[in-house]
Copies of this chain bind each other. A is one copy, B any other.
Amino acid sequence: MKKAIKGQILSAERMDKIRVIENGYLVYEDGIITDVTDTLDDPDIEVKDYGNRLIVQAMSDMHLHAPQEPMVGLGLNLPLIEWLNTYTFPTEANFKDPAFAEKAFNKLCDELLASGVTRVAIFSSMHREATELLMKIMEKKGLSGLVGKVNMDRNGGENLEETTEESIRETEKWLSDTLGKYEHITPVITPRFTPSCTNELMEYLGKTAKEHGLYVQSHLSENQNEIAWVHELHPDTTQYWESYDKYGLFGDHTLMGHCVWSDERERKAMRDRGVYVVHCPTSNTNLMSGIAPVRQMLTEGNKVLLGSDIGAGSDISGFEVVRDAIQASKNRKILDDFKTEPLSVEEAWYLATSAPQEYFGEKPGFSPGNELHAVVINDDQMNDPWTLTPVERLERAIYRRQPGAVEAVHVRDFVPVRA
């Protein structure tokens, strides 16, 4: 049976322009969008009328670490490697305990949904049980996307390291437990990053991704010390990406977090192989990694998505990540001696919504055929300086959040958040 939600609809169909359907209807059937229209002919369609509220696409967070939820906002004056050893690895070691994991995952999923994020590509810890729990919680709560059991058989410290044999055995078991099990959650092959995985493990992971047709996610060129370390570990390579590429872990739909220091050659390799950059602006500032040249990546044709990178990122809310991406692009402009253009609201919004939709095989905007993933924004509590356009109201929602601003979140036929 067809249903519709009605309001001021913003559909990010192009990167440079958001299409506005005022007092529009977003019509869907069995969770799939069938029409976006300003007139509804069929009187049998059940309409949920949100009045003057904005109805916008839900966002996707394409790089974050679920087991870092309990450490968001801690230890952020340390650079990457020191921060990993002092805060991250000890925190993740806690996820051996499913009770600890359950509490953290529930909180994280609730905060993501309440902030308008409905799809993710997420790192779990190395623990199989916790990873399976995360998938179960996500599916139940209405979050979709990719979940990876992290693989790490070296350099994890005392309490967060697998042997190569354990890593392979646990990955096999995890895949046999979860492949095809969930309607909306798919496993993703997840070497933590090159320094965490022996060549033997990398080889296994590359073969396994190929065997099951699974996507890959990892980290690339986040920090200069990290890049130097990778080069020491793989003296046969000239660039970081090659340490993945030689094991078949750098191909179509691979998600690479950060890419702050990826140069022209590395960016070209990404384009040639269909690898996606996942830009994590907040994290890159917090850990002083650098400012990724996103404008340049877009101009050259790289595919760019956004990630909160919890817990090096400290903003869980999708709106905050969009704002952080705009602000990072402005700081990049300053770094580039004011020569590069910052991201516009429209562009950053596209990267958080339509770009990941395309990654997941959908069309941009609220296009017929896409799953319904929508956020209803209530800005009644705001004082307007004059009558604002719907796009101005979206800009304000990105920059200035109010309690209760996310009035509802629709995911297919499910409404996981409602005021």
How many identical subunits does the complex contain? 2
**Chain A, 57-82, contact with B by CB distance < 8 Å: what is the 0/1 string?**
00000000000011111111100000
Contact A398 to B91, CB < 8 A, known contacts A103-B383, A291-B334, A327-B285: no
**CB within 8 Å of B: which of A253-289?**
285-286, 288
Size class of the A contact interface (CB-based, 8 Å): 35 or more
Provide the residues of chain B in CB contact with A383, threshold 8 Å.
69-70, 103-104, 107
Q: Are A344 and B77 in contact (CB under 8 A)?
A: yes
Once the chains are docked, how many angstroms separate the CA of A104 from the CA of B384? Answer: 9
Binary B-proximity of A85-101 (CB < 8 A = 1, otherwise 0): 00100110010000000
Contact A314 B399 (CB under 8 A): yes
Question: In this assembly, does A342 line the interface, its C-beta being within 8 Å of a C-beta of chain B?
Answer: yes
A396 at the interface (CB under 8 A from B): yes
Q: Do B400 and A403 touch across chains, with their CB atoms under 8 A apart?
A: no
User: Given the complex of chains A and B, what is the CA–CA distance between A338 and B71 in angstroms?
Assistant: 25
In whole angstroms, how far apart are the Cα atoms of A383 and B87 in the complex? 14
Q: B72–A331 contact, CB under 8 A?
A: no
Q: Which chain B residues lie closer than 8 Å to A76 at the CB level?
A: 326, 395, 399
Whole-angstrom CA separation of A327 from B75 in the bound complex = 13
In this complex, which of A107, A291, A383, A388 has the most chain B Cβ atoms within 10 angstroms of its Cβ?
A383
The answer, yes or no, to whether A330 is at the interface (CB within 8 Å) is: yes
Interface pair B396/A72, CB less than 8 Å apart: yes
Across-interface contacts of A392 in B (CB, < 8 A) = 74-75
A residues 294-351 near B (Cβ < 8 Å) are 314, 316, 323, 326-327, 330-331, 333-335, 338, 342, 344-345
Cβ of A365 within 8 Å of any chain B Cβ, yes or no, is no
Contact digits for A382-419, partner B, Cβ 8 Å, 1 yes 0 no: 11111010001001111110010000000000000000
**Interface mask (A130-164 → B, CB under 8 Å = 1, otherwise 0):** 00000000000000000000000000000000000
Whether A293 sits at the interface, judged by CB under 8 Å, is no
Q: Tell me if A290 is interfacial: C-beta within 8 Å of chain B.
A: yes
Complex-state Cα separation, A87 to B386, whole angstroms: 10
Kindly list 17 other residue pairs between chains A and B, CB separation below 8 angstroms, not including A75-B392, A107-B383: A70-B382, A70-B384, A70-B385, A73-B400, A74-B388, A74-B392, A74-B395, A75-B395, A90-B385, A285-B331, A286-B327, A288-B330, A288-B334, A288-B338, A290-B334, A331-B335, A403-B403
